[in-house]
């Protein structure tokens, strides 16, 4: 079982290292991760006709093979599924992302985007994210927030799920390239209140409330963008974000984007019909 491990926080992320060591029990782990922070990259690849990504070997404790790529996680996965790093991978595991990827943030997550890229090559994937205490609280730095991160809890949850998923793959019962989004509370494993199937909610636990252009001193016509956090949002208990808020591991199976039928765009459709009449 060849397992590709990636993330969107970069090759030096603690969450990546913890998850990599946890995955060793389930197969041959190869780490292929961005060389820097790519949070919010979604499933972006970049302008491949303009960029020339570089790839470097890395030494990670307990991992036989690790690489960094000067590009987003979806590009790391694309290179891997096209054969740049040896035989085909059987499974992609992405994370551990500090901060939940729930609600509409699923669309923007590089952690999830890596798995979506893998599905394009018919490789199933598991995205693993964990809540961060105090996220979005004014005056608290990112490094300060991560000091109390219970990485091992997320790693144990991921290991349990992936261990079973490997058995499903080997038994041939997994019928397509599933993409699984797992969000884990930030607490000791003993304090987690189980797990559940979660629908993807419409809101994140906290959202940006405003954006303001602020003149950049000494640069006429140039501005910086000042953004403000809004209040925490109470989320429905059956959603991914709501479950994590209640101390429950949220497991969401993500479908492909599909077209829908609409009956409220009649004027727009009539305009097209007139254009080609």
**pTM for the predicted model, two decimal places:** 0.93
**pLDDT bucket at 248, cuts 50 / 70 / 90:** very high
Q: Which two tokens stand for residue 5?
A: 């491990």
- SS3 at position 232: strand
Pure H helices in 120-239: 142-146, 151-171
Residue 196: C-alpha distances to residues 200, 243, 253 (Å): 12, 8, 11
Q: Is the pLDDT of residue 261 over 90?
A: yes
Q: What whole-number distance in Å separates Cα of residue 211 and Cα of residue 31?
A: 37
Sign (positive or negative) of CA dihedral 8, 9, 12, 14: negative
Q: Which two tokens stand for residue 217?
A: 């001193």
Q: What whole-number distance in Å separates Cα of residue 241 and Cα of residue 100?
A: 8
pLDDT digits (tens, 9 = 90+) for 184-217: 999 999 999 999 999 999 987 777 788 999 999 9
Q: What is the mean pLDDT of residues 220-227?
A: 93
Which pLDDT does position 141 carry in this prediction?
Answer: 53
CA neighbor of 13 nearest in space, from 125, 94, 107, 134: 94
Structural domains in the chain, sorted by start: 2-207+234-275 (3.40.1210.10)
Are 99 and 129 a contacting pair, CB within 8 Å? yes
Q: What percent of the chain has pLDDT over 90?
A: 83
Are 220 and 226 a contacting pair, CB within 8 Å? no
38-52, 110-124, 130-144: least confidently modelled range: 130-144
């Amino acid at each position: 079982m060849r397992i590709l491990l990636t993330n969107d926080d970069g090759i030096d992320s603690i969450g990546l290292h913890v998850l990599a060591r946890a995955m060793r029990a389930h197969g041959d782990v190869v780490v292929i991760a961005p060389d820097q922070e790519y949070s919010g990259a979604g499933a972006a690849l970049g302008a491949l006709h303009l960029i020339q990504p570089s790839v470097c070997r890395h030494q990670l404790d307990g991992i036989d093979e690790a690489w960094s790529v000067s590009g987003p996680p979806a590009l790391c996965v694309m290179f891997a599924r096209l054969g740049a790093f040896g035989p085909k991978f059987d499974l992609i595991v992405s994370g551990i992302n500090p901060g939940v990827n729930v609600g509409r943030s699923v669309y923007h997550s590089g952690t999830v985007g890596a798995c979506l890229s893998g599905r394009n090559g018919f490789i199933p994937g598991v995205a693993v994210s964990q809540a961060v205490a105090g996220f979005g609280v004014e005056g608290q730095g990112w490094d300060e927030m991560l000091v109390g991160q219970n990485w091992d809890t997320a790693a144990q949850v991921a290991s349990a799920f992936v261990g079973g998923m490997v058995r499903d793959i080997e038994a041939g019962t997994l019928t397509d390239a599933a993409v699984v989004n797992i969000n884990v509370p930030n607490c000791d494993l003993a304090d987690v209140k189980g797990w559940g199937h979660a629908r993807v909610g419409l809101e994140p636990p906290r959202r940006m409330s405003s954006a303001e252009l602020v003149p950049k001193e000494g640069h006429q016509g140039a501005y910086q963008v000042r953004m403000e956090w809004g209040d925490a949002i109470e989320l429905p208990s059956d959603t991914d974000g709501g479950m994590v808020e209640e101390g429950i591991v949220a497991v969401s199976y993500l479908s492909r984007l599909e077209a829908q039928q609409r009956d409220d765009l009649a004027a727009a459709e009539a305009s097209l019909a007139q254009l080609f009449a």
